[in-house]
Structure 1
Amino acid sequence: MTGPILRALDQLPDPRFRWTLVKAIGLTLAILIGVYAVVGTLIAGIDPFTLPFIGLVDPGLWLAGLAVGALMLASIFLMIPVAALCIGFFLDDIAGAVEDRHYPHLPPADPPGLIATVIDALGFFGVLIAANIVALAIYLLVAPLAPFIFYIVNGYLLGREYFQLVALRRMPPAEAKRFRRANRGRIWIMGIAMAVPLSIPILNLVVPLVGVAAYTHLFHELRGRVSTPAR
């Protein structure tokens, strides 16, 4: 698992990586700012005098603390689905840069079209949100285990999606699905390794790019670095 990740990190200075990172960060920040604006608007509509212990603390401090807490919580829980949604638009650029440098013998890839990519990204975004809402109930029941459950669930989903998207560039859907299932253990472990830093502010902006690059390496490693004809 460490080999693909280290090779992905080693390629970060690549100009193609830098430009893709700029675009991905821009889109991610735009979405998060929109989320923060909605949260801020909702909090602004709260009557501070309905808050508990309001007589002991200035109402403005209550609202400021509530806003900061809500946005920090949103950053942790929303960054994973937002990053997953955004990186889908740039996955082919990242995988292409990795293959051009490390696997130049491969024929051109045949990635899914833009419409299919957008539909898949939106569908996966919905699955991530739904899975985390369901997991929230489990977090409340077993609070000490909540962080582990969070990373296990999101690691599985992220690994599944990223590997599948990488595989679809060089395999028909049915074959890519079988190949992913046959290697689900390593894919899941790498997904957890990616989910953990995705919950860390600032660092989480770089992780999706590194994750796609690492899954591209893992895909070719699992195939023995032997190419198959494009679809």
Structure 2
Amino acid sequence: MIQALMLSFQSLSDRRVAIVMVKVVVLTIITLMVSGIGLWFALQVLFGWLNVHDTGFWSGLLSAAIVGLSGILLFRVVAIAMTWVFADDIIEAVEDRHYPRHAAFGKRPSLGAGIQMAVKSIARVVGYNLLALPVYMLLLFTGVGTAIAFLLINALLLGKDLEDMLVARHGAKGAMNKLSRVLLGLFGTAGMMVPLVNLFVPVLATAMAVHLVHSEHSA
């Protein structure tokens, strides 16, 4: 895992990966800005529907919880959606540099297949987190319980997403072992919760997935 992380940082020096990084960051920021405005208006509508108009402790806590969870989840959805768009460019660049033998057998999925997998990924993230929302709210009063639950659930989902990107290109040979998938998901999800760092994590995590998969199958 450490070696894969170090190699993924090296990949940023590759011009092709750097260009993709810029595209992902710019598109993510633009999408988040537009989505953030929509979230603010949606929150006002929700408060009106719940008849929450005071500025007391409970309404403040509810606002902070909703904005915090929605913001993190929104970033997670947007970042992975953007990464799916450019996943094959990242994978190709890393494989050409480090794993030319594997690159020769890789098959880029069609645009339609990529869009379909991205939609499934977004549906999984939104669906599972909505199902877990009551748990998040109950654990809110523990201080750290909500963050831990969110981290674990989304680590599993992100690990699956990153594996799917390689499977779509290499079939069964793109799969990674369960421990690597979970650890990669934890790294990516935790990184996405850190401001500024989160902008670069999706590309780094995708590069890490490439190194993990090919190192496992080469061992």
TM-score normalised to the size of structure 1?
Answer: 0.80
Return the index of the structure with the highest Cα Rg: 1
For residue 27 of structure 1, what is the aligned residue in structure 2? 27
Give the corresponding residue for 1:104: 100
How many angstroms apart in 2 are the aligned matches of 1:12 and 1:206?
Answer: 10
- Cα distance in 2 for partners of 1:160, 1:100 equals 24
CA distance in 2: counterparts of 1:22 and 1:82, whole angstroms: 15
CA contact (8 A) 2:173 2:217 kept: no
Q: Contact 1:16/1:97 (CA < 8 Å) preserved in 2?
A: yes
Range moving further from structure 2, 91-100 or 143-152: 143-152
Cα distance in 1 for residues equivalent to 2:68 and 2:139: 22
- Give the superposed CA RMSD: 2.7
Aligned to 1:57: none
Q: 1:28 deviation in Å? A: 1.3
**Structure 2: distance between partners of 1:142 and 1:67:** 16
Partner of 2:116: 119
**Partner of 2:73 in structure 1?**
77
Deviates more, 1:143-152 or 1:193-202: 143-152
Match of 2:213 among 215, 219, 230: 219
Say which SS state the counterpart of residue 27 (structure 1) adopts: helix
Write out aligned runs for 1:116-155 (5 A). Answer: 116-143=113-140, 144=142, 145-155=145-155
Are residues 190 and 53 of structure 1, via their aligned partners in 2, closer, same or farther at CA, if it must alter by over 3 Å?
A: closer
SS of structure 2 residue aligned to 1:51: coil
Correspondence for 2:86: 90
Count of residues paired in the alignment: 210
Query: Sequence identity of aligned pairs in percent?
Result: 25
Shift of 1:5: 1.1
Q: CA deviation at 1:23?
A: 1.1
Aligned-pair CA distance for 1:90: 0.5
User: TM-score, normalising length from structure 2?
Assistant: 0.84
Deviations 1:52-78 (A, max 9, x none): 258xxxxxxx99xx9898655433221
Structure 2, gaps ≥5 residues long: none
CA deviations on 1:190-209 (whole Å, 9 max, x unpaired) are: 11111001012211110000
Corresponding residue of 1:160: 160
